[in-house]
Amino acid sequence: DQQVKQNSPSLSVQEGRISILNCDYTNSMFDYFLWYKKYPAEGPTFLISISSIKDKNEDGRFTVFLNKSAKHLSLHIVPSQPGDSAVYFCAASARAGNQFYFGTGTSLTVIP
């Protein structure tokens, strides 16, 4: 039972344009969300987080939006750069829990 879903396995974007990666979740108890970036043969690298008390968090070119009523979050990267090409995972946890639940990832390719 996948509690965190990333329905787009892959995404291609032109350099300089906006990349939008989406993530849906089913558990209304989730209150903390993370995005990770993963290059081949490396572990996931933390990118940005958001708590359920906010609906937006921004860090440089990366912005995460949270829509609690829709149980949906998205990661916006603007402008996209070729070095952003990687697999992006969203993850969610509940304050009462200890583990994070991960989506299956979206492979982003930024075309120069």
Partner 1 sequence: GAGVSQSPRYKVAKRGQDVALRCDPISGHVSLFWYQQALGQGPEFLTYFQNEAQLDKSGLPSDRFFAERPEGSVSTLKIQRTQQEDSAVYLCASSLLPARTQYFGPGTRLLVL
Beta strands in 1-112 (DSSP E): 4-5, 10-14, 19-25, 30-38, 45-51, 56-59, 62-67, 72-77, 86-94, 101-102, 106-111
98 part of the interface to partner 1, by CB under 8 A: yes
1 part of the interface to partner 1, by CB under 8 A: no
103 part of the interface to partner 1, by CB under 8 A: yes
CA dist 37 and 6 (Å) reads: 14
93 part of the interface to partner 1, by CB under 8 A: yes
CA dist 90 and 72 (Å) reads: 11
Closest distance to partner 1 from the beta carbon of 37 (Å): 11
44 part of the interface to partner 1, by CB under 8 A: yes
Per-residue DSSP letters for 90-110? EEEEETT----EE---EEEEE
Closest distance to partner 1 from the beta carbon of 11 (Å): 16
Closest distance to partner 1 from the beta carbon of 90 (Å): 9
Residues that bind partner 1 (CB under 8 A): 4, 6, 32, 34, 36, 41-46, 49, 89, 91, 93-105
